[in-house]
Amino acid sequence: MNIDKRDINGKWNEYTLTNQHGMSVSVLDFGGIITKIMVPDRNGNIENVVVGYKDYSEYQQNPNYFGAIIGRVAGRIQGAAFELNGETYHLAANNGENHLHGGPEGFHQIIWQVTPFEKDAEVGLELKHTSVDGEAGYPGNVDITVTYTLTNDNQLVLAYEAKSDQTTPITLTNHAYFNLSGDLKHTIKDHYVTLNSSKFVELDEELIPTGKILNVEGTSFDFRGGRVLGDGFNDHFEQNKIADSGYDHYFIFDQTNEYSATVLDPESGRVMTVTTNEPGMVMYTSNSLGEELELAERSSCKYLGVCLETQASPASLHHQGFPSVVLKAGETYQKETVFSFMVED
């Protein structure tokens, strides 16, 4: 097990965690950004399975949120406002008239305090930040700890903890774009995904939840038995069309299986499972990713990565029946998501 630290442009630090099987995860203190995850394919070739910039200075803006911690609230908040305990709070509108991923100065834009740690069978990083009352328009002083742990079982564990002195919305996630082909050799069109979800959230033209929860049965959103992502890269189903011929939707987990999600790249043999105590996740298939970005291995393009953003639903701030994002004063927010990597023969 090993932890390396290197200076980036005299401004940031990048930490690389390596286990005894050669798997490694690289993380910036800026935004808690995962820059690389190196894992073997079925032939033992160790390659990167996340999307990242070639020039690290590009992370300063990072409009696609590559690899970053997202907060206070992951996702879109309708009208950049919400009501809580009879009071209306106004947030920055950075996605049309709506608030997206904590606003323009969200957790993806801060330098986290990082403490590395090493144990017998794991290495990791503890990232801390205090979000002050009124930051981005949210109430309460919130102490946040995000822990990245790499185990010798080729698991990356993301643990989130937060406490606030006022009741406030919070749901944290990581915005890594996964591509199991290795070094971005192919798009994710043929990635075979299984989701433990029979319901998803309907979106309007602005990608804001309408308040309706739809059944996946008979649609390209039914991943319960597994299907390739390319099934949804078309305009045949209205909800795929709204998401620019892809997916950008919240799936509510059925909570009956060991894994909430499984992703397989048949060519490389890489398999990634997702296990979480979150009630659901947004699956985003990089539908709006253009061709102008210079990434670590190639130029960017549509469908180059899939984000599996485990979280509660910000739609709960405006509609009944959605997993709540509200953390009460004095209570502890504790969530965990485990990404496990293996290969299929």
Interatomic CA distance for residues 28 and 87, integer angstroms: 37
As annotated, the active-site residues are: 175, 309
| Listed residue (281, 301, 264, 217) closest to 74, CA to CA | 281
pTM above 0.75, yes or no: yes
pLDDT class of 219 with cuts at 50, 70, 90: very high
For residues 232-253, average pLDDT:
94
| Listed residue (266, 255, 248) closest to 305, CA to CA | 248
Per-residue b/e over 19-36, b at no fewer than 16 CB within 10 Å?
Answer: beeebbbbbbbbbbbbbb
Interatomic CA distance for residues 29 and 343, integer angstroms: 30
Of all residues in the chain, what percent are helix, strand and coil, respectively (each to 5)? 10, 45, 45
pLDDT class of 236 with cuts at 50, 70, 90: confident
How does the average pLDDT of the chain come out, rounded? 97
Query: Taken in order 223, 229, 235, 239, is the CA torsion positive or negative?
Result: positive
For residues 153-178, average pLDDT:
98
Look up residue 267 and give its two tokens. Answer: 């060519």
| Listed residue (49, 40, 30) closest to 306, CA to CA | 49
pLDDT at 202: 97
Contact 211, 319 (CB under 8 A): yes
pLDDT at 17: 98
Phi, psi of 317 (to 5 degrees): -75, -15
Q: How many CB atoms lie within 10 A of CB 130?
A: 10
Beta 81-84 vs 192-195: how paired, if at all?
A: unpaired
Q: Containing H/E element for 100?
A: strand 99-100
The tens digit of pLDDT for each residue in 178-187 reads 999 999 999 9
pLDDT class of 345 with cuts at 50, 70, 90: confident
Interatomic CA distance for residues 186 and 204, integer angstroms: 30
The tens digit of pLDDT for each residue in 7-39 reads 998 999 999 999 999 999 999 999 999 999 999
Tokens 């690290």 -> residue: 56
| Listed residue (145, 247, 142, 116) closest to 189, CA to CA | 247
Look up residue 327 and give its two tokens. Answer: 């953390």
Domains and CATH numbers, the chain: 2-343 (2.70.98.10)
